[in-house]
Structure 1
C-alpha cells in the first residue's frame, strides 16, 4: 500500500473527528479573494475537497463546483452539505475528467499527501483538466521534512516556496502569487500560454 492508500486508511479509521474538524474550516472564505479575482470562468474542481467546506463557499458564490476526494466519509458529508454541487471519488494522480473541463483547480491541504516522486505528474494532471486560461491554487505544509505523521498516520510532503514554485513552472503554469506563513505555503498560478505542458 502506498502513501496515499495509508493516508486514506488513517482518515477512514476515525472519520467523524475529521469530518467535524474540517467541516468548519473554509480557506476559500478566509483567503480566497485573490483566487476569485483571477478566475476566468465558473467551473471549479475542488481536489481533496474533504467534507465540503470550500465547496460550500464556492457554491454560495454561484460557481459550478465539483468536489473530488478519495475518502468516502468526506464525500458523503460533502454531498449532504452542498447538494447543488457534484462530487466524485478518485485519486488526484489520475483525474477521471476530460481535458479542459474546468476553469480552476483548488487543492487546499490535499496535494501535500502526494509523494514527491508523483508530484510533477499530478500537477500535469491538474493542467490537463484546465482550460487554456485556467488557474490553480495549492496550499501545502511548509518545511523540509516529509513522511508519515506519528500521531495521525497520515503522509505529508512539505515544501518551501521556491521548491513548489519550481514544480508549478515545470508543469506548465506561470506563477501569479506565492505566500508563506503560519506553517503553510500557498501558491496561485495560471496555465502558461502557447499550450506549454511543462515538458519542453
Structure 2
C-alpha cells in the first residue's frame, strides 16, 4: 500500500474536531452508556498472546479510562492517550493509577520500542484510511520486539455522521473486515488472531491481535 500523503486535510481535521467536541461536551452521557462494558475476554486473549508478563500498556484513544483501569490490575505501567480533554479528565478520576496524556494517535509522544502492549478499542473510528495507516504505524513503532497490538473497529462501508442520542454528533469511518486486515498486513503487521463477529455495542466488528514485523 502506498504511503499516506497529506493526511491532515482541513475537511478531515474539521470532522475530527467536531467529534472531539461532542465527547468534551457530553462526557457524562458516554460514561453512562459505555462505562460498564467489560472486554475481559479480549483482555485475556491479548495478554495470552505474549511470551512474557507485560510491564507496560498503551491505551490508544483511552476515553474515560475504563479499560486502563481494568488493565492496571495486572500491568503496573498503563498509559492512556486521547484527544478529548473532557474524557481524559474523567479517566484520571476513574483509573487513578494510570498515566494520561493529551495526544494525537497519529503522532504518539512515546519512545520507540518502549511498550509491551498496545490496546486500541474503538479508537480508530474517527480517522479515514490515511489517518488509520499513520496511527497503526505509530502503534507499531512504540511496541517492543515481541509486543502485541490489539485493535477493534466497527465493520462497514464508507462514512457517516452519528448522533446516537448522546448529544452532539461524531463522524465515523468504516472498513470491511477483509479490507482492514489487508491494510494491517500491508503496513507490516503479522496478524495472529482475528474475530469478525457482532460487537458488544452495535453491528459487526473487526478485531485483531498482531505483531509488527517490518513497518512500511
TM-score, with normalisation over the residues of structure 2?
A: 0.84
Give the deviation of 1:184 after TM superposition.
Answer: 1.2
Counterpart position of 2:182: 166
The 5-angstrom pairing of residues 167-186 of structure 1 reads 167-182=183-198, 183-186=204-207
- Once structures 1 and 2 are overlaid, which stretch shifts more, 83-92 or 35-44? 35-44
| SS at 1:32 equivalent | helix
Q: How many angstroms does 1:150 deviate by? A: 5.1
- Give the aligned partner of residue 7 of structure 2: none
Q: Distance in 2 between matches of 1:63 and 1:180?
A: 30
* Superimposed CA distance per residue, residues 34-57 of structure 1 (whole angstroms, 9 cap, x where no aligned partner): 101013422110001111111111
- Whether 1:85 and 2:98 are equivalent positions in the alignment is yes
Contact conserved, 1:19 with 1:50, CA < 8 A, in 2? no
Q: Look up the match of 1:191.
A: 212
Q: In 2 relative to 1, CA 62–130 (structure 1 residues): closer, same or farther, beyond 3 Å?
A: closer
Show structure 1 runs of 5+ residues with no match: none
Contact 1:179–1:186, Cα closer than 8 Å, also in 2? yes
**1:18 aligns to 2:30 (yes or no):** yes
Cα distance change, pair 63–169 in 1 and its aligned pair in 2 (3 A): farther
Cα offsets for 1:137-166 (capped at 9, x unmatched): 111111113132255521112122211111
Distance 2:177 2:19 in 1: 24
Give the Cα separation in 1 of the matches to 2:85 and 2:38. 20
Residue 102 of structure 1: aligned partner: 115
Deviations 1:13-69 (Å, cap 9, x if unpaired)? Answer: 222111222222232x24322101013422110001111111111011234211111
How many residue pairs match? The answer is 194
Paired residue for 1:68?
81
Gaps in structure 2 of 5+ consecutive residues: 1-12, 199-203
1:143 maps onto 2:164 in alignment? no
Q: How does 1:105-120 map to 2 (within 5 A)?
A: 105-120=118-133
User: Separation in 2 of the partners of 1:55 and 1:150?
Assistant: 26
